[in-house]
Amino acid sequence: MTDETLVWLAIGAAALVTYGLRISGLLLAARLPKTGRFKTFMDALPGTILLSLIVPAAVAAGPIGWLATLATGLCSCKTGNVFLSMVVGVAIVALGRWWGL
C-alpha cells in the first residue's frame, strides 16, 4: 500500500470509530430505562465526565496550574463568563512561565 492509502485508511478508521461511538450512545440510550437510579446515573454523567477531563490535567500542570484552575473556577462562579474565565486561567499560566515558575 502506498503512504497516501495508509493515511486515508488511518483517518477513515478513526472517523468510523468516533462516529460509531457518538451514534450508538444516543441509540442505546433510547432503549434504556428513564427513571430511578439509572436516570440519576445519566443525570450525573455530564458533570462527572467533564470533571474527570479536567482534574488530572490540572493536577499535572503544577502549582501555577492549580492557581490558574482555582482562579478560572472562581471567575466562572462569580461572573458566569466562560471566555473571561478562560483568559484569566491562560494568562496566569503564561505569566507564571514568563517568570520562570
Q: Which of residues 38-67 bind other proteins (CB under 8 A)?
A: 38-59, 61, 65
Nearest distance, CB of residue 101 and other proteins, angstroms? 12
Nearest distance, CB of residue 39 and other proteins, angstroms? 8
Helix 82-98, helix 62-79: angle, nearest 10: 160
Residue with Cβ nearer other proteins (56 or 63): 56
Burial class (CB in 10 A: 0-12, 13-18, 19+), 76: middle
Set of cell numbers at residue 90 = 491562560
Residue with Cβ nearer other proteins (57 or 63): 57
